[in-house]
Structure 1
Amino acid sequence: MSSGDDFSQQSTSLLSGVEDDRSDDTPRQGGLGLGLLILRLALGLTMGAHGLQHLFGLFGGPGIGGFARMLETFGYHKQTTLLSWITGITEVGGGVLVIVGLFTPLAAAGLLGVAANAVYAKFHGGFFEGQGQGFELELLLGAAALSLLFTGAGPISLERNTPWRKRPLPLGLASLLLAAAAAVVVIVLTR
């Protein structure tokens, strides 16, 4: 036997028993549930905290009146108080629903709509916050919400047995259209 044959037999014996038995055809997702929980917590807590700032002035936030004035500096000139309430309630409500994993595609659509409007409002200020207003945080929050539209909450959530968890793509696409429509309506009606 040559040394090449010895190597072939050694590498075969090293890999024996390592084959992935996929006879049950179930996907191997490893830490997907935990990863989605971490994503939901980060998005929900961040957006929820912003909502509490906007609604009640918590965490050094501006409250409704201050947020309405802030929206005016971003080019929103009509119905700013109403928009402040809608934004704050969407951030808090959507944040809570995303955290517990309930109605996740719809909650993520609301958060995506808020993030899309924030990106639109801050876009002229440049990407980085240090160079102007910056929209990098809002873009990242929007991307997290967009991801949850299509993945759903995952197995560590309250929506374990819902129809959209089994087939998240159709509701994800519908939720994306809802978020886009809401963002456009807000821009058209309030700017």
Structure 2
Amino acid sequence: MTSQGDDYQTSLLSGVEDSSGDDTDEPRQSGLGLGLLVLRLGLGVIMGAHGLQHLFGAFGGPGVGGFAHVLEMFGYHKQTTLLSWITGVTEVAGGALVLVGLFTPLAAAGLLGVAANVVYAKFHGGFFVGDGKGFEFELLLGLVALALVFTGAGRISLERNTPWRKRPLPLGLVSLLLAAAASVVVIVLTR
């Protein structure tokens, strides 16, 4: 005979750990896991490569000094070198974590914050504008990051047995708030 407290505790923990592997939802969920992997790979590689451009000048990028100058052209006038470092590190670290599927809601929130600032900086230039002045590409990256904030990494990831993979909404909401706060702080302090 179990007490009411034991039943309550058991119900709180049910579903947090994976079962022996024969989930009844597996056939239905296998496409979801693969789809999330594709989104993670795309976002992680693209944002990580941008970060390597911004930090080290890889792939023909500007490096920290050149990126600071680019930020000035987009209306950031204070602490542009520091902002270059923060942006590059966020892109590389966030891209790597999203790529392997570890701390995905937080990593995706960092990438969302970067994308949101780029959209804000390019917004006056229009949606579709040649020479990289439009913001449609960064908006798409931000939307992919936003989706991963709320979905998490999926089954094909390093965070397979974490509580936030089973219930991603609470950490997703916290991560979204952190991304929004960081974006506002960057805009207020550097523009």
- The higher radius of gyration belongs to 1
Q: Deviations 1:148-167 (Å, cap 9, x if unpaired)?
A: 01110000000001110011
SS in 1 for 2:130: helix
Deviation at 1:132, TM superposition (A): 6.7
Aligned residue for 1:93?
93
Deviation at 1:60, TM superposition (A): 0.7
Q: Percent identity?
A: 83
Matches within 5 A, 1:28-177: 28-130=28-130, 133-177=133-177
Aligned residue for 1:183?
183
Letter in 2 for 1:36: L
Aligned residue for 2:15?
none
Letter in 2 for 1:114: V
> For residues 126 and 160 of structure 1, what CA distance do their matches in structure 2 show?
40
Letter in 1 for 2:71: L
Deviation at 1:129, TM superposition (A): 3.1
TM-score (norm. length: structure 1) = 0.85
Structure 1 segments, 4+ long, off by >3 Å, are 24-27
Deviation at 1:116, TM superposition (A): 0.1
Q: Deviations 1:30-80 (Å, cap 9, x if unpaired)?
A: 411111000000000000000000000011100000000000000000000
Letter in 1 for 2:123: F
TM-score (norm. length: structure 2) = 0.85
Q: Deviations 1:70-122 (Å, cap 9, x if unpaired)?
A: 00000000000000000000000000000000000000000000000000000
How many residues align? The count is: 168
> For residues 46 and 174 of structure 1, what CA distance do their matches in structure 2 show?
25
Deviation at 1:25, TM superposition (A): 7.0
> For residues 62 and 120 of structure 1, what CA distance do their matches in structure 2 show?
21
Tell me if structure 2 keeps the 8 A contact 1:125–1:131.
no
> For residues 150 and 33 of structure 1, what CA distance do their matches in structure 2 show?
14
> For residues 79 and 166 of structure 1, what CA distance do their matches in structure 2 show?
40
